[in-house]
Chains A and B, each alone.
Chain A
Amino acid sequence: MATIIEFQDAVLGYGSKAILRGITFSIDTGDYFGLVGPNGAGKTTILRTILGTLRPLSGTVTAQGENGLPLRFGYVPQRDTIDYALPYTVEEVVMMGRYRQRGLFRRPGKEDREAVGRCLDHVAIADLAGLAFKELSGGQKQRVLIARALASEPDVLVLDEPTNGMDLSSRLAILELVHRLHRDDGLTVLLVSHLLEDVANYVSRLAIVERDFFKVGKVDEILTGQNLSTMYELPVDVRTIDGRKVILSGGGNGGR
């Protein structure tokens, strides 16, 4: 597996203000990589740097495909960053994933419509194509955004807090879908979340981030009570029940 994203002693932040220092890690093709940490810890800063919308203050960050070309990201944003004023149909939203391939002035054609149909089918929402995106449930919206990311034919699928604000069944369905895309399609996936269990039970490699605290490695190496206690500044234990990792905090009442 080749390294496609690499941080070397990077200092990340905004303007002249550094938020994270000494960040060194890499992501390889075919990885299922999780990035977790409390709200405000700097996950979005790392994410933006990976996506190329934020430059490191120092150090180096590279995001290059095996062919030497810049990586294509299929980005699934947090749902509340989207403007719901106009009633775009599901098909129109997914078509946006094809816009970069079309370039300026060119309208999407038959090939694009077929690609959109395939992506909708792939995430099992072909029947929603003509509906207004803004009227869908949270889980359905997330599937549409994943379909749009797939329509851009990405090298890496990047999901930012994909299960935020969802009920349990929708959350599991989305996580299973992403897992399937990784397993069956061999897609490199970067999953960002503050919901530790969501990430820990699916990814193969994990980075935990908090200001002045950054660890990266295989899930079993990183997901330890000691690391999590340091990150959250409270007693945290990690147990495995029926093969699933469960995070217990405080007096052992459970929860995240």
Chain B
Amino acid sequence: MGAAEIVRTIVQEFPLALYGSMLVGVICAFLGVYIVARRVVFLGAVMTQVSVMGIALTFLPFFPLPHTVGSLVVTLATVVIISRLLTGKKIPRDAVLGVVFVTSIAARILIMQKSPKVEVAEIENLLRGDILFVTPELFILMIVAFVVAMGAHLLLFKEFTYVSFDPETARTQGYNAVWWDTAFYLLAGVVISFATHMVGDIYVFGFLVVPPVAAMLLARKVTHIFIVSVLIGLLSAPVGLFLAFLFDLPSSPAIVGVASVVLGIAWIVNVARRR
């Protein structure tokens, strides 16, 4: 297939895959800046695994919810608990996240073991996520999550950045840091839940981390970091999809791979700048 034919195929036959992956790329790259800045990168991995476990739970007879709803409910419930534990001082942050991470994976494996075989295959497909087969329903849900999360962050940018930068002083100014943190994690939870269901955990976690880190290496102002991260999230998706078609590669790893190459270039640029 030539380049033009690949582009035509992607745009005409897989438009939801193209626009969906760009949508997820943008919102994850945006939220990821906060996640990397707050030093809770592992939270991204944890939330994707919790979301996946939520999907797996819906295969059990006592949790008969649609996959998306199940994933959302479990993710948001976990977020509320985690956000409380993350602000506490008794258990270290990474220990809290580690416990939730490993518990989610263990629970998922146990659930899969107890599911009929035909459903195990289905679960595996859902857990991997498949960009090429994004459904219109999921795409619409993702747009809603995108608008809500981006809208909230753009309207409340100064509050989220202040609480993240200096929670103690923000508290003396009347900002309830715990409340703002919980609000942030809930918004992130909604996005991660839908996005993981749509494009898979590797893609979501990759875009929560790789574009923000690349942007931090390239940009020198906070607003520029957000913009560069979002641009990397936006552009990696079509380039990765194109390469996946060209070289017959799985799409999610190909897209994350493109973002990682950008990160590598950013690192080289950063090193060169310092010399």
Select one of A87, A93, A100, A152 contacting B221, CB under 8 A. Answer: A87
- Minimal Cβ-Cβ distance residue in A for B173: A100
Question: Does A88 count as interface, using CB distance less than 8 angstroms?
Answer: yes
- Minimal Cβ-Cβ distance residue in B for A102: B158
Question: Does A96 count as interface, using CB distance less than 8 angstroms?
Answer: yes
Closest beta carbon of chain A to B34's beta carbon, Å: 9
| Docked pose: A77 CA to B171 CA in angstroms | 11
| Docked pose: A70 CA to B82 CA in angstroms | 33
Residue among B33, B169, B174 with max Cβ neighbours from chain A (10 Å): B169
Closest beta carbon of chain B to A244's beta carbon, Å: 32
Residues in B whose Cβ lies below 8 Å from that of A158 = 172
Closest beta carbon of chain B to A145's beta carbon, Å: 8
Residue among B33, B173, B174 with max Cβ neighbours from chain A (10 Å): B173
Say whether A53 contacts B158, CB under 8 Å: no
Select one of A85, A93, A105, A152 contacting B173, CB under 8 A. Answer: A152
Residues in B whose Cβ lies below 8 Å from that of A77 = 166, 168-169
Residues in A whose Cβ lies below 8 Å from that of B169 = 75, 77, 96, 148
Question: Does A132 count as interface, using CB distance less than 8 angstroms?
Answer: yes
Chain B contributes a number of interface residues (CB within 8 A of A) equal to: 27
Q: Given the interface contacts A51-B172, A73-B172, A83-B164, does A104 sit within 8 Å of B225 by beta carbon?
A: no
> A67-85: which have CB < 8 Å to B?
73, 75, 77, 81-83, 85
Segment with Cβ contacts to A, from B35-43, B129-137, B234-242, B247-255: B35-43
Closest beta carbon of chain B to A10's beta carbon, Å: 19
Say whether A53 contacts B37, CB under 8 Å: no
| Docked pose: A148 CA to B174 CA in angstroms | 16
Chain A contributes a number of interface residues (CB within 8 A of B) equal to: 28
Give the number of residue pairs across the A-B interface with Cβ within 8 Å. Answer: 70
Binary A-proximity of B249-275 (CB < 8 A = 1, otherwise 0)? 000000000000000000000000000
Binary B-proximity of A126-142 (CB < 8 A = 1, otherwise 0)? 00000010000000000
Say whether B221 contacts A89, CB under 8 Å: yes
Closest beta carbon of chain A to B211's beta carbon, Å: 15
Binary A-proximity of B71-89 (CB < 8 A = 1, otherwise 0)? 0000000000000000000
Q: Given the interface contacts A52-B172, A100-B173, A102-B158, does A86 sit within 8 Å of B166 by beta carbon?
A: no
Say whether B39 contacts A104, CB under 8 Å: no
Residues in A whose Cβ lies below 8 Å from that of B172 = 51-53, 73, 75, 158
- Minimal Cβ-Cβ distance residue in B for A145: B169
- Minimal Cβ-Cβ distance residue in B for A149: B169
Residues in A whose Cβ lies below 8 Å from that of B37 = 83, 85-86
Residue among A52, A77, A81, A148 with max Cβ neighbours from chain B (10 Å): A77
Residues of B whose CB lies within 8 Å of any CB of A are: 33, 36-39, 155-156, 158-159, 161-162, 164-174, 216, 220-222, 225
